[in-house]
Structure 1
């Protein structure tokens, strides 16, 4: 299939996915570039369309992944103008894909015995959300819970920041007021950071798992969430910086958890 006009109805739908309200309505999102499309193919996500530059053809780097992919994606060649209309980056990528959303199940996260799960409470910066997902993937966390008020998981900036880790780690978008009490009923320990905490994150025992809660960049975790958190840890610092940003704090805790669980 080939589409050259930016006025094509299908093209208009693809471009609309740059807007959250249309992503929510259609339950689909757009990913840009060879790396992200490759990760989606390798992870067997439900891809509806793979769209590429009609002059350049399907990127050679994707052909092996496409050959191994079991899904029913449609392949569409388009003009440079269509690529520009449908992509968020300043320099349009030679390929993009339309992917169906996939929300993790709370039951699947709770099945993981002694798991490390990252919980985000009002983290609003797409770069921070994406970086935390990437760190969770790299450190072997079993999932991420994205509470209301966080940056949209499917925002193009969030997706780029995950560097493909979105396709590797289960992400549950949910109301923390419902999810966290349910997790606690199943024996999950909730731990967060606090400048007033007496226990260092390097003294805390992550070996039995726990759900690590990271709050808003400026305000921290909400009052409702704070009432549910049982454990608080301090990230020791020697310099003059008052604190770390949300993504850096999450990464420190995730990798300390990994160190204790796999390297000790």
Structure 2
């Protein structure tokens, strides 16, 4: 049985480390660790093959027995730490929470590590900046059971706590890779995957595209769209016809519309 330690001081070095991991991308990359909160998120991370370094819990919100049950099937030792109310309030994101936080070992997300089979359908997002949008894209990808999500020219690391929170754990249920635009383009070409790029110019309606072959649906930022490099290499630019005054929607909404049209065509 894992020994359970206790922390009650806000000055404890581990408390300071957790705050650094929450706030600093550089610290997450340097240590290879990140923070998650919540039992559902932890269960999804474990199901996705992530390894837990430390579990912290506040026993007024979750019992020691529940923590031991969560860790009972793991084949490696986990640091278990009971924290005081003051410490938990300091390190937690949410006021309404299950009393559980974890320090998790991150994974690498190289393009060559993607396991693509058969006739893949992929979402590519170029340089997404807002954690809420990234989280929503990951939720859409999970709902559609896409083969992979690729982030081209990432502006930060995917283990930003706001991305984990807004994705409701779907960061752990998707195959995710990152790379520069050039690297992603070369990867897709090497796999003979067609690229359908959301763009306002030289575009045809997304409903007129045949998504039945291996395909990547490529979206850019709401502010600037896709870079010229994507538009020059696109199999076909696509657009969602608008009936109102504006010419674009939230990127996650647009992606969802196109993704589920692709699934419709594929008979899902």
Q: Above 0.5 in TM-score?
A: yes
CA deviation map 1:143-193 (0-9, x unaligned): 111122435311111111111111111111221222212321331211111
Secondary structure, counterpart of 1:144 in structure 2? strand
Q: Which residue does the alignment assign to 2:34?
A: 29
1:77 & 1:253 partners in 2: Cα distance? 46
Q: How does 1:56-205 map to 2 (within 5 A)?
A: 56-58=61-63, 65-89=70-94, 94-109=99-114, 111-205=116-210
Residue in structure 1 matched with residue 21 of structure 2 by the alignment:
17
Please tell me whether the aligned partners of residues 124 and 217 of structure 1 are also in contact (alpha carbons under 8 angstroms): no
- Asked whether the equivalents of residues 144 and 259 of structure 2 are also in contact (C-alpha less than 8 Å), the reply is yes
Q: Per-residue displacement from partner, 1:180-222 (whole Å, max 9, x unpaired)? A: 1232133121111123345321221111121111111200011
Pair 1:223–1:110, CA change in 2 (3 A): farther
Structure 1 segments of 4+ aligned residues over 6 angstroms from their partners: 59-63
Deviation at 1:30, TM superposition (A): 0.5
Determine helix, strand or coil for the equivalent of 1:118.
strand
Aligned mates of 1:155, 1:98 — CA distance in 2: 13
Change in 2 beyond 3 A, CA 1:245/1:61 = farther
The question of whether the paired residues in 2 share the 8 Å contact of 1:42 and 1:69 is answered with no
Q: Is the 8 A contact 2:204 2:239 kept in 1?
A: yes
Structure 2 residue ranges without an equivalent (≥5) = none
Q: 1:246 to 1:47 in 2, by over 3 A?
A: same
Task: Please report the TM-score for the alignment, with normalisation by the length of structure 2.
Answer: 0.88
- Whether 1:3 and 2:3 are equivalent positions in the alignment is no
Matched, 1:254 2:259: yes
CA RMSD of aligned residues (A): 2.3
- Please state how far the C-alpha of 1:22 moved relative to its aligned partner: 0.9
1:78 is displaced (CA, Å) by: 0.6
Structure 1 residues 61 and 227: CA distance shift in structure 2, 3 A: farther
CA distance in 1, matches of 2:42, 2:209: 39
**Is the 1:42–1:65 contact (alpha carbons within 8 Å) kept by the matching residues of 2?**
no
> 2: CA distance between counterparts of 1:253 and 1:171?
19
Query: Does structure 2 conserve the Cα–Cα contact (< 8 Å) formed by 1:110 and 1:186?
Result: no
